[in-house]
Amino acid sequence: MSVLTRTPAPQGRTRISRLQGKARYAPTLATVGLFLAMFAAGAIMYPGFLSGQVFLNLLIDNTFLIVLAVGMTFVILTGGIDLSVGSVVALSMMIAAALLQAGWNPIAVIALVLLTGATFGLLMGLVIQVFEIQPFIVTLAGLFLARGLCYVISVDSITVTDPFFTAMAQARIPLTGNLFIAPGVVIALVVVAIAFYVLHQTRFGRTVYAIGGGESSALLMGLAVPRTKVLVYGISGLCSAIAGILFSFYSLSGYSLAATGLELDAIAAVVVGGTLLTGGYGYVLGSLAGVLILGIVQTFISYEGTLSSWWTRIVIGALLLAFILLQKLFSRKVKLT
């Protein structure tokens, strides 16, 4: 009798885990579905919209935001936030432009910029972990610090004339037919692929999800919670530096006011991509889809021609609110199961 009474329990737990798994995928699948629906609507509304190059242009124009969203995904999965990423992008651009103008080798410049971004993120992570300060406050301070350092370097725009950066900005990688992509797209997609592998195939990635699911539980399981919490901010800082290099390729300049508000776009892309702001649930591929949705909204505004660019912010705000409500709905559904 005891065997019979215990057998339904594992089956019930299996059913619950399956329902939770389906609910976990739902926000990301909704993001992908919304993107496909918007692309189909654009094809109906605008001649020439249904083109492979239109889709590739979304990637080309948003390479730096894709990389930025990848780093933000790591942070938000732990239940944290990083408000400094836009300013670190600008600081990376200013450092690169100033050093290139001084005659530095471009490879050495890129290496130094990446090291600076990663170190900046690690220092913020250490402050958050050691002094137990809210990430919002620490990264807000990081935002002001990085932006201030930009003005220390120069208050004026610095033009990048280095041959390597210029070649990267003008290079096109041909695909089938008349389609092409920029080298930055390859870099961004490689970053996404590495992040996907790290989050889903490594112990570090499982620890990231565990912290977001419950930091106390993760500690009880013997996971390296303090180290992981520091490293995710280092990853965010590194991704911000990579985004700064890609932005430099895109604009061939460094400007203190560049990337203002870009941290909000990155957060919006991650949330629209299905990652819970409370942490524990989300996928980096969803963040990629979220960036593409933001990009297609801007493309709609460009094709329409008669609408102000501020409509982009209005639509993004509405989408962000809708996806937060959707996340709340599915979170409640998981609890009820």
Reported as a single tens digit per residue, the pLDDT across 89-99 is 999 999 999 99
Query: How far is residue 309's CA from residue 221's CA, in Å, rounded to a whole number?
Result: 49
Query: How far is residue 65's CA from residue 62's CA, in Å, rounded to a whole number?
Result: 5
Write down the pLDDT at residue 22: 57
Please, what sign has the CA dihedral across residues 148, 150, 58, 279?
negative
pLDDT over 50 (residue 9): no
Write down the pLDDT at residue 320: 84
Helix H, strand E, coil C: the string for 265-282 is: HHHHHHHHCCCCCCCCCC
Chain length of the chain: 337
Helix (H, G, I), strand (E, B) or coil at 214: coil
Q: Do the Cβ atoms of 324 and 277 come closer than 8 Å?
A: yes
pLDDT per residue as tens digits for the range 193-238: 999 999 999 999 999 999 998 999 999 999 999 999 999 999 999 9
Domain borders along the chain are 26-330
263 or 323: which leads in pLDDT? 263
Query: How far is residue 242's CA from residue 191's CA, in Å, rounded to a whole number?
Result: 9
Q: Show the tokens assigned to 28.
A: 């990301």
pLDDT, the chain, mean:
89
Please, what sign has the CA dihedral across residues 320, 185, 110, 191?
positive
pTM of the predicted structure, to 2 decimals: 0.91
pLDDT per residue as tens digits for the range 27-80: 788 889 989 999 999 999 888 888 899 999 999 999 999 999 999 999 999 999
Percent of the chain residues past pLDDT 90, beyond the cut:
72
